[in-house]
A and B are shown apart, each in its own frame.
Chain A
């Protein structure tokens, strides 16, 4: 059945998508520009007999997520940049203990308390570890309100499949904007994998389950790390991406999230100015769609990365392109959103 389209805010869609995706427990602490997420969940979660808890801090939130995830719950938190920084110790512990969870970051300008306006400057934090130790999160970047609704369910599935934390990396614009989105009235049936490792009571099992990230013996810890790395390598199969106008593109613009929306409009403007520009949009940021980018860039003259940061994703673009083509960057900082015509000017420059 086709769900009726409703005009909803991105943050609202994240919350409804989390409920539809089988979130059992939400723990969070308020921060702009993601406050609608806990606001909606504070109503929706109890209505469905699930847990909503406003914690005393972000540090408490992530450790509650750790506990609920260990007990086999689909556990989640949501915050914005400074709040996510506070959660990094917990994220590292959760990754080390191989537990699935979902953390949403509706990014704002940084560093420090920064601003409340949109930014993409937490790419490194989300994709390259963020907390200490050799770990990775499965990271998804929605670009419209429909994806804000559908990605929490997918992220929970991936987190469960790999027993690993997943993140959704959105930004202030995606959180605050409204668009029509198809959202069913009825909750979908969610299938969940068995979690025989869950610390939810012995239940007649012979061995007791332990959730832990402390491995004192270096050789044991090395083996544990090798296992984690093998898992991240296997995750490469899950990479997702999207393209627009790339068939004949001479300039390939690479952008994710809200920057991809600006870039898509800019590509259309550039085509009016006689420049064949196309958009490659990574949907998963980790795993980064390296091979699909290489294949899409085949035939282009140059690559332009557009992001709302000083240039973070561009490093993965350069690693993928590996010197085959010139890669330039248009990065805007501080919570400023460039207009599509400003992005278009950079495409024109890249075409020279």
Chain B
């Protein structure tokens, strides 16, 4: 036990695959033998079409499935950035979906990264529906807390029922996010 604990918040419009993205992370953590929790927002904040979820994973027993601030926040749309910029822990990561968010965050005590998630999803998977998986790849590139193989296994077990073509498109989306971020960082 090294007591690793990672807490992530993901937010966006309903339909952007925000809840599924959280489940993928929890699934990947489970695939590599870690403990994980996933909690969707199901209260009044869902009204108006925004959705968010929190995911925690650890090699230790997980206490709270929520936190005051998170190691990483993925903002898939503008209202999510407005609402959750303050939810990033100092020194933590804020990943912004550049395809639909044009403004800059205000904080200077956090690490900010951009990914054109919708555009990349359309070009490698043929649909913006895979933007969530592109964002997952991008986060994985800047904060590799899970193994790439576990993320791929999670995509396989999540999308396997829809056929290998769908799985492959999502694996391409994952790597598109990872590669684009690696280029930016280089």
Contacts and interface: CB of A to CB of B under 8 A. Distances in A.
- Please say whether chains A and B are actual partners in one complex: yes
B64 to A, nearest CB: 4
Interface in B46-74: 61-68
B30 interface: yes
B23 interface: yes
Interface in A73-114: none
B42 A262 contact: no
A117 B43 contact: yes
A337 interface: yes
B166 interface: no
A264 interface: yes
Given A7-B38, A178-B37, A340 B43 contact: no
Contacts of B61: 264
B40 interface: yes
Contacts of A173: 39, 65
A176 B68 contact: no
Contact of A172 (B38, B42, B62, B63): B42
B26 interface: yes
A7 B23 contact: yes
Interface in A171-200: 172-173, 176-180
Contacts of A176: 39-40, 42
A340 B36 contact: no
Contacts of B148: none
Contacts of A301: none
Contacts of A261: 62-65
A339 B68 contact: yes
A12 to B, nearest CB: 12
B67 A7 contact: no
B144 interface: no
Contacts of B30: 5, 7, 180
A236 interface: no
A158 interface: no
Nearest to B38: A178
- State which size class the interface on A falls in: 20 to 34
Given A7-B30, A7-B36, A335-B43, A178 B23 contact: yes
A342 B23 CA distance: 27
Nearest to A175: B42
Contacts of B44: 115-117
Contact of A116 (B23, B42, B68): B42
A268 B63 contact: yes
A239 B117 CA distance: 52
Nearest to B30: A180
A78 B14 CA distance: 28
**B26, B37, B65: residue with the most chain A Cβ atoms closer than 10 Å:** B65
A198 B64 CA distance: 44
A295 B127 CA distance: 61
A27 B43 CA distance: 26
A285 B179 CA distance: 52
B63 A179 contact: no
A296 interface: no
A340 B56 CA distance: 13
Nearest to A259: B64
A287 interface: no
B150 interface: no
A225 interface: no
Interface in A200-216: none
Interface in B97-156: none
A339 B69 CA distance: 9
Interface string A262-277: 1111101000000000
Given A117-B44, A176-B40, 18 more contacts: A7-B23, A32-B42, A115-B43, A115-B44, A173-B39, A173-B65, A176-B42, A177-B37, A177-B65, A180-B30, A180-B35, A261-B62, A262-B64, A265-B64, A339-B66, A340-B64, A340-B68, A342-B68
8 contacts: A117-B43, A177-B39, A179-B26, A180-B36, A265-B67, A268-B63, A339-B64, A340-B64
Interface of B: 23, 26-27, 30, 35-40, 42-44, 61-68
